[in-house]
Amino acid sequence: MQDAIHKNSPRLELLMRVVDVIGLWCAGQLSALLSFNTPLSAATPVHTILLYFGCALAFILFANFNMYGSWRGRSMPAMFGQVALSWAAVMMLALLFSFLIHHVGSLSRLWMFHWYVVGVISLMLTRALLYTVLRHLREKGINNKRVVIVGYSGIGREMHRRASEQSWYGYDVKAIFPVSAPPASSQAQAAAAADLAGMPAAGAERVDSLTELPDYVARHEIHEIWITLPLAETERLQQLQYLLRNALVDIRWVPDTLSMQILSNKVITFLGMPAVDLNQPVAADMNAMAKDVFDRVFAAVVLLLLLPLFVAIGTGIKASSPGPIFFRQPRLGLNGRPFMCFKFRSMRVHQEHGAVTQATQDDPRVTRLGRFLRRTSLDELPQFINVLLGHMSVVGPRPHALQHNELYKNKLEMYMLRHRVKPGITGWAQIHGYRGETDTDDKMAKRVQFDLHYIQNWSFSMDLKIIAWTAFKGWTGNNAY
């Protein structure tokens, strides 16, 4: 089942096309006043030619750029991004046209820049006004679309809740088709079905027979069908495909990803086919490259500035107890690749005999200087060397000892997904107090929860916030022994 292309009515689309062209024409005239302090007619003729050519292109091509598709249920920032890119494409074609007619030398780049900026503002204001008017009408119950939801587990309930609470999107859920028939051998699924059977769907009719769906859609003039079945319901999906083969309505499949332990649900085109990335971090591809460049530059600057401190700490460690200045221990890095993690040695040299024992309060192995280093997290500073070498990031999940990974990977769901990104010197969990000793499963579970939140919601601003918080407040903690 393929989701139909969502369009506005032909009359509304024609009106928007005309308004867009008028707005762009006015933007071109205003840009002349900004650039030349004269009307456009007083400038060289190529500007007037380009004005009419660009407006004609916009009238013809904007529809191909999905500028007039329905944005119901989608965000305004995404709409504005589409506007900026579409107008930029038209401007590039107009510029190419000026090359072809050999008048590009007479064209004012400043006027082109002003026309682009004022044109984007005009297009955005038009859509913001239309968006606001439609939102007001939909809150009044006008211009709504009637919807049925097929499947009513986690994602189905969430879709219903959002449609009900965010009435400005204009979706009216008329009925739900739970299609829940778990095998009797599964007590958990049977309990979930019993819970579903007794739960009313607020404002919606409950229909249990899936074969009634086509007649219900036709009888109640339904506009959209939302299928929220999980990936495992292949037979149900095939049945729905057959039942809805003649349904002339928009059909959306929203897989039930809420019940799955995943990092992401980004839809991509892979080998020419639609695919869903289930565990691709946000900081991947170009974002990962940009983050890596930032990390290495930041680490180089820190190491250069803190070189005197490194010398002082190294001298103190050698004077406090015999042994090396640095403590090295194998950890897992990006995608589970092992590396040697550096720290300033804070303990007396000893043997672990195949086990790693976390430091505890008043641990006799920790030296007096080491206790200060651990309390202030100064023992972690050599990890900027790991960042410079590409083993770690400045911000990310803290790397754990290999034995701890083996212990917790089967105890805690999604524990190993922490290793889908580079480990960090500091992280989201650490600035929220989850640093140091993890002597209970609950503490480790909380740390993993914060780590996964970071991976799923990463941004450069989030990294900068964590770095700033760590620099001013995050170096010490009650659990750092």
Q: Are 148 and 173 in contact (CB under 8 A)?
A: yes
- Both structure tokens of 213: 């769906």
More confident residue, 74 or 60: 60
Q: pLDDT by residue (tens digit) across 321-366?
A: 888 999 999 999 998 899 999 999 888 776 555 555 555 555 677 8
Indicate if the pLDDT at residue 161 is higher than 80.
yes
Q: Which of 16-25, 39-48, 93-102, 186-195 has the lowest mean pLDDT?
A: 186-195
Q: Which of 7-21, 209-223, 333-347, 402-416 has the lowest mean pLDDT?
A: 7-21
Res 320: pLDDT = 85
Res 464: pLDDT = 93
C-alpha dihedral sign at 342, 284, 451, 356:
negative
> How far is 252 from 229, CA to CA, in rounded Å?
11
pLDDT band at 117; cut points 50, 70, 90: very high
For the chain, give the mean pLDDT.
Answer: 82
Beta strand 266-270 with 338-344 is unpaired
Beta bridge partners of 250: 224
> How far is 211 from 215, CA to CA, in rounded Å?
8
Res 156: pLDDT = 84
pTM over 0.75: no
Q: Which of 142-146, 188-192, 370-374 has the lowest mean pLDDT?
A: 188-192
Residue 403 Cα to chain centre, angstroms: 32
> How far is 64 from 84, CA to CA, in rounded Å?
15
Q: 224 in helix, strand or coil?
A: strand
Sheet holding 171-177, edge to edge: 205-206, 171-177, 145-150, 224-227, 250-253
Res 422: pLDDT = 94
Res 396: pLDDT = 94
Res 128: pLDDT = 85
Indicate if the pLDDT at residue 158 is higher than 60.
yes
* In the chain, domain spans: 10-139, 145-260, 286-472
> How far is 466 from 460, CA to CA, in rounded Å?
10
Q: Are 240 and 150 in contact (CB under 8 A)?
A: yes
pLDDT band at 74; cut points 50, 70, 90: low
Q: pLDDT by residue (tens digit) across 263-313?
A: 776 777 777 776 777 777 877 777 888 899 999 999 999 999 999 999 999
Q: 473 in helix, strand or coil?
A: coil
> How far is 436 from 414, CA to CA, in rounded Å?
21
In which residue are the tokens 């191909």 written? 64
**Which fold, 145-260?**
Rossmann fold (3.40.50)
Alpha helix segments (H runs only) across 321-414? 368-376, 383-389, 402-408
> How far is 169 from 173, CA to CA, in rounded Å?
12
More confident residue, 277 or 126: 126
